[in-house]
Amino acid sequence: MPNFYDLSLDQLRATLAAWGEPAYRAAQVWAAVYRDLAASPTHISTLPKSMRSRLAAEFQFGTLTPARELKSSDGQTRKVLFQLADGRAIESVLMGYAQRRTACISTQAGCAMGCVFCATGQMGFQRHLSAGEIVEQVIWFARELKAQGDRLTNIVVMGMGEPFHNYDGTLKAVDILTDPGGFNFGARRITLSTVGLAPMIDRFASEKRQVNLAISLHAATDDLRAELLPINRRYPLAEVFGAARRYFEQTHRRVTFEWALIAGRNDTPEQARAFVKLAHGLDCHVNVIPLNPTPGYGGQTSTRERVARFKSILEQHGIPCTVRVRRGIDVEAGCGQLAVQTT
């Protein structure tokens, strides 16, 4: 059976119209599933029993099965391994902060980008997730939080996979989650992260969405970036920054650059100054994080002193820079650590 979460609102309307249902039924179903977080049509009391039965017979209301959960020692990070219907699996993370509850969701099983320091990249690519599989990760966490009297405040599309490699599925999921008649999640509270697929950044810019854009940069010279991120051979820094500037020109939204600091590789003053030249005149922000360990990469985490020096050079040139708090490292839920682990 098809997954209900793969439906857009227009597709739901067309389906119910074909069943001979009145037009208002689609809005009722949509609100029950996404606003009230009904887990199955049997819970939608506003519908006739016959319609509930048909929905249950025609659609699966979710295809992800939580197979394993790990909590960090501080209790603030929760990583879930979801089994997919075809036997593959993904990991997703819920992070708690003083005022925020952030879901980090995946868009692919594995990843084709091959970033050397990323556990997902070390897995290789398996397949794209459908829009419904992306949506369902968010809804699962939203239900969990609702049961605790809490709610989701932010979504970062920074889990397994490259969101812009699965552009249509990812953006359809965003549209479902931000629809005002349903889940109604604020677009400005969603951040999409890409390794720099320049044509997709241009496409994203042309659609003028309110969703935040982050670019995983990690180096400011082509030779080093190509060693760390093989995609740089196809889209070198000039193309990535060209797309970033066009994005800002069209949307007037600031670009965030992400940078995993690796001791002695990309945490040097030379790399910081090279970034300053590339970013001259661009409204941007740099989010740095000391490298998180992964089994397939031997690079070391930058020291506190090197992180501080890197940050200081950027700020001296007027580029805002923050050091991201490392979360869930003890359960391998940090940035770049997600991979399918079943034991």
Token output for 164: 């812009």
Q: For residue 68, what are the β-bridge partners?
A: 81
The residue-averaged pLDDT of 92-111 equals 93
Question: 332 or 201: whose pLDDT is higher?
Answer: 201
Distance separating alpha carbons of residues 33 and 39, to the nearest angstrom:
7
Q: Which of 328, 7, 39 is nearest to 159 (CA)?
A: 328
Across the chain, mean pLDDT equals 93
Distance separating alpha carbons of residues 138 and 152, to the nearest angstrom:
9
The residue-averaged pLDDT of 173-196 equals 97
Percent of the chain with pLDDT over 70: 95
pLDDT band at 250 (very low <50, low <70, confident <90, very high): very high
For residue 250, the surrounding DSSP H or E stretch is helix 237-251
Residue 343: is its pLDDT beyond 50? Answer: no
DSSP output for 115-175 = -TT-HHHHH-EEEEPPHHHHHHHHHHHHHHHHHTT----EEEE-SSS-TTTTHHHHHHHHH
Question: 328 or 223: whose pLDDT is higher?
Answer: 223
Domain covering 4-58, topology = DNA polymerase; domain 1 (1.10.150)
Only one residue has tokens 């031997």, namely 298
pLDDT band at 74 (very low <50, low <70, confident <90, very high): confident
pLDDT band at 326 (very low <50, low <70, confident <90, very high): low
Residues 6+ apart with CB under 8 A from 144: 94
pLDDT band at 75 (very low <50, low <70, confident <90, very high): confident
- Are 210 and 187 contacting, i.e. CB atoms less than 8 angstroms apart? yes
Among 299-308, 317-326, 334-343, the minimum mean pLDDT is found in 334-343
pLDDT band at 3 (very low <50, low <70, confident <90, very high): very high
Query: Could you tell me where in the chain the CATH 1.10.150.530 domains are found?
Result: 4-58
Alpha carbon distance, N-terminus to C-terminus of the chain: 30
pLDDT band at 114 (very low <50, low <70, confident <90, very high): very high
| Beta strands across the sheet bearing 89-96 | 65-71, 77-83, 89-96, 101-104, 154-157, 190-194, 212-216, 255-261, 284-290, 321-323
- Are 94 and 70 contacting, i.e. CB atoms less than 8 angstroms apart? no
Question: 180 or 120: whose pLDDT is higher?
Answer: 180
Residue 332: is its pLDDT beyond 50? Answer: no
Distances (CA, A) of 25 to 44, 56, 340: 11, 15, 39
Domain covering 65-331, topology = TIM Barrel (3.20.20)
The residue-averaged pLDDT of 160-165 equals 96
Catalytic positions, written as ranges: 91, 335
Token output for 29: 């179903």
Supply the pLDDT for residue 336: 59
pLDDT band at 333 (very low <50, low <70, confident <90, very high): very low
Residue 61: is its pLDDT beyond 80? Answer: yes
Token output for 321: 């820079």
Other C-beta atoms within 10 Å of 172: how many? 20
Supply the pLDDT for residue 341: 52
Supply the pLDDT for residue 169: 98
Distance separating alpha carbons of residues 135 and 144, to the nearest angstrom:
15
Q: Which of 291, 319, 165 is nearest to 228 (CA)?
A: 291
- Are 241 and 270 contacting, i.e. CB atoms less than 8 angstroms apart? no
Residue 306: is its pLDDT beyond 60? Answer: yes
Query: Could you tell me where in the chain the CATH 3.20.20.70 domains are found?
Result: 65-331
Supply the pLDDT for residue 273: 98
Residue 130: is its pLDDT beyond 70? Answer: yes
Among 72-76, 96-100, 219-223, the minimum mean pLDDT is found in 72-76
The pTM is what?
A: 0.94
